[in-house]
Amino acid sequence: MTLDADWIVQSPSHQEYFSERSELPRSADCAKGSPLCDETFQRKICTVDSDCQDLGVSCKDFAPTIKRPGESANRLCLGSADGLVERVYNIMISADEHLDITSLSSPNGRFREAMINALAYLSHKENVPTVRFLYSGDSSTSLNFLSPADKTLKAIANDIQKRGGRSEALRMNLAWLSSPQLSWNHSKIIIADQKRVLSGGHNLWDADYLSEKPVFDLSMEVYGPVGQDTQKFVNTLWSKVGKGFASYPFRKDRLNIVPKSDAASGLPVIGVGRMGSLGNNAADDAIVDLIKASRQSIELSQQDLYSALGLKPAASWALPALLDAIMRGVKVSVLQSNPGPFLGYGMVSPEKTFQNMAAEFIKSAQAKRFHTPNGESLQQYFCDKVAYAPFRFSKDRTSWSDGSSISNHSKLIIVDQVSFYMGSQNFYPANLQEFGYIVNDPGATAELLVQYWNPLWEASESARLPCP
């Protein structure tokens, strides 16, 4: 695996939200139909930075406005979140042979607009790549029978044509992947030519990531042979679709993407996936083994550690391994999302989770006849080893200006500051299809600590919870 200098994909950028700013970044939206407003992306059209002075942002070229090779990008007043849209677009247009996109649901808003422009761009290439879309459904709330796959794919093809693309030159498949056992696709992967991958926690949802109160999230962009293992996982997902897929042009053929087999090189990395109720769940074992390997420290940045979908909070499959690590003397630090609306970004509050963990630790330690090294109580030992904080991006802000919760959607586990897991799989139990990477490299982990973990922990530590 190879990493570029900007391989960490975090949104929003913490630096724009820290307490040194007197005000939070404002929305750069402009009203559709107003003069100098780009109708597709709702950004003010500009020439120089002074044109954007009223918005407090910069005037930049915006690549997702390009719909065919050779075109120049429009210059727009870009907000703090627009870089995420641009990264999604850039990896899509890099495909020369094949593009695969998997996510919880179809992109919407400006993410969808960028995808349509990227597909129009691909349709004008000399060798037009094939494309597959695999989601659990058309949206996170609609029932799939109300949005059949062929209807969604037809809308994509029509919109490509409206943007000046050659939709007739594209070969595309689209399918929903979910099962009655409450198991559906939750992986978030964009993979171009089996060698360039964007994968992690980001859903391509406009309201969640491009608003004035964005969800904080984390993904990574990687290159190299690890893309071939990622392609194998995506192919396995597709093998579970059966006949329930749509094809464009509208015929019954199905794209078959054969994984390449170049020799591995670069950083040591393992792609780990799970199939939920549809097959093998190797990622569960891999994450547990990563935790078991810890000797000094574990840092977790998570939405939740417990699920609240049942009558009482359900513990993670990985919690026993985490408790055993604490008994070994491993220091554990947790950043958890603040509780949100029902089924939002935070089911069980950090306070309740910390209490549950302490109780589970004492129960497990007593069952294993664990004795603290200095004779302190099990509760005190637990609290000496575990630092728990609700997610903050600033020491001065416990919520957004309107009182709503600050949400964290990251799925990150760092072990001994030399290895980490990053992907789509939450620490709380959910029997979904997931994918992520375990990277064992001190240099890459150090970058992740400096650019992501350390600033957030510094901002959140002042809200650290007292011993339960």
Q: Is residue 81 a contact partner of residue 12, using CB atoms and an 8 Å limit? A: yes
Mean pLDDT of 154-180: 95
CATH number of 137's domain:
3.30.870.10
In-domain check, residue 366: yes
Question: Looking at the structure, do residues 328 and 211 belong to the same domain, yes or no?
Answer: no
Encode pLDDT of 10-54 as tens digits.
Answer: 999 877 776 555 577 778 899 888 889 999 999 999 999 999 998
Question: Looking at the structure, do residues 200 and 288 belong to the same domain, yes or no?
Answer: no
Encode pLDDT of 184-209 as tens digits.
Answer: 999 999 999 999 999 999 999 999 99
In-domain check, residue 256: no
In-domain check, residue 113: yes
pLDDT on residue 19: 52
Encode pLDDT of 269-290 as tens digits.
Answer: 999 999 999 999 999 999 999 9
Question: Looking at the structure, do residues 312 and 444 belong to the same domain, yes or no?
Answer: yes
CA distances from 42 to 90, 110, 115, 410 (A): 19, 9, 16, 27
Strand pairing report for 306-307 and 189-192 = unpaired
Q: Is the pLDDT of residue 56 over 60?
A: yes
In-domain check, residue 29: no
Question: Looking at the structure, do residues 82 and 214 belong to the same domain, yes or no?
Answer: yes
CA distance 304 to 353: 8
What pairs with residue 302 in β-bridges?
336
Question: Looking at the structure, do residues 115 and 84 belong to the same domain, yes or no?
Answer: yes
Question: Looking at the structure, do residues 239 and 276 belong to the same domain, yes or no?
Answer: no
Q: Is the pLDDT of residue 264 over 70?
A: no
pLDDT on residue 26: 79
Token digits of residue 47: 């020439």
Q: Is the pLDDT of residue 383 over 90?
A: yes
Mean pLDDT of 229-255: 91
Question: Looking at the structure, do residues 211 and 285 belong to the same domain, yes or no?
Answer: no
Question: Looking at the structure, do residues 98 and 228 belong to the same domain, yes or no?
Answer: yes
In-domain check, residue 88: yes
User: To the nearest whole percent, how much of the chain has pLDDT over 70?
Assistant: 96
CA distance 399 to 376: 36
Among 192, 216, 248, the domain boundary falls at: 248
In-domain check, residue 12: yes
Domain residue limits at 419: 269-463
Mean pLDDT of 280-308: 97
In-domain check, residue 159: yes
Q: Is residue 52 a contact partner of residue 36, using CB atoms and an 8 Å limit? A: no
Encode pLDDT of 387-438 as tens digits.
Answer: 999 999 988 889 998 889 999 999 999 999 999 999 999 999 999 999 999 9
User: To the nearest whole percent, how much of the chain has pLDDT over 90?
Assistant: 80
Domains of the chain: total: 2
